[in-house]
Chains A and B, each alone.
Chain A
Amino acid sequence: GENVEQHPSTLSVQEGDSAVIKCTYSDSASNYFPWYKQELGKGPQLIIDIRSNVGEKKDQRIAVTLNKTAKHFSLHITETQPEDSAVYFCAAIGGTASKLTFGTGTRLQVTL
């Protein structure tokens, strides 16, 4: 099955700085990589996703990059704001009848 590792587990940045969260996956057949943001007391919110036929995708201040050869993908948040503070989860899926496998999460804190 798929195994997704996520680093770092916690990340503290100053407002305005960039934040990068990295994930690696094990199944070379994986073809879909979403990122979720979970605020305290709420459900995970899909913020961006990328498919294996694309190397990079941007949506305003967030971007995701995918390196299929190395089997890793990253979330980049630029110009961080206090409301970006949350736990971020990466996930991967692909192959036949596989499940969405989540990373262990990164707690991002944006300080003033």
Chain B
Amino acid sequence: DAGVIQSPRHEVTEMGQEVTLRCKPISGHNSLFWYRQTMMRGLELLIYFNNNVPIDDSGMPEDRFSAKMPNASFSTLKIQPSEPRDSAVYFCASSSGGGYYEQYFGPGTRLTVT
């Protein structure tokens, strides 16, 4: 059974460029989460979708970040324009049952902004 799939696994880009991260949740899961992990701040929740609808986006750092979930099997996190301080590992997680419980994480995308 496939787990959460993320792409790309690594992304290196220059400051000011647009970055799009992609996620495919586990089939049948109706909740999707985007997290950011850094040494300084640990794991931070950016946004939470339930049934493709954004429920909590209070963790999105600023207007440069946006996330979409056009259907139950795909979500994107976009950063435009990117800045060096956005460098981090971005994780997507999914769960069933419509809540924060039993979240399963993807392998992450390591983003480096130079």
Tell me if A44 is interfacial: C-beta within 8 Å of chain B: yes
User: Does B43 contact A89, Cβ atoms closer than 8 Å?
Assistant: yes
With A42-B107, A93-B100 in contact, is A99–B91 under 8 Å at CB? Answer: no
Interface size class of B (residues with CB under 8 A): 10 to 19
Residue of B nearest to A104 (CB): B42
Contact residues in B for A97 (Cβ distance below 8 Å): 56
User: Does A44 contact B100, Cβ atoms closer than 8 Å?
Assistant: no
User: Does A42 contact B43, Cβ atoms closer than 8 Å?
Assistant: no
User: Does A99 contact B56, Cβ atoms closer than 8 Å?
Assistant: yes
| Total A-B residue contacts, Cβ distance less than 8 Å | 43
Contact residues in A for B43 (Cβ distance below 8 Å): 44, 89, 102
Q: Mark A83-112, 1 if CB is under 8 A from B, else 0.
A: 000000100010001111010110000000
| Distance from A5 Cβ to chain B, minimum over Cβ atoms (Å) | 12
- Leading 6 A-B pairs by shortest Cβ distance: A43-B105, A102-B43, A100-B100, A44-B105, A43-B107, A99-B45
Tell me the B residues contacting A by CB distance below 8 Å: 4, 42-43, 45, 48, 56, 59, 91, 93, 100-108
Tell me the A residues contacting B by CB distance below 8 Å: 32, 34, 36, 41-46, 49, 89, 93, 97-100, 102, 104-105
Selected A-B contacts with CB under 8 Å, 15 pairs:
A32-B100, A34-B101, A42-B108, A43-B4, A43-B93, A44-B105, A45-B105, A46-B102, A46-B105, A89-B43, A93-B100, A98-B100, A100-B100, A102-B42, A105-B42
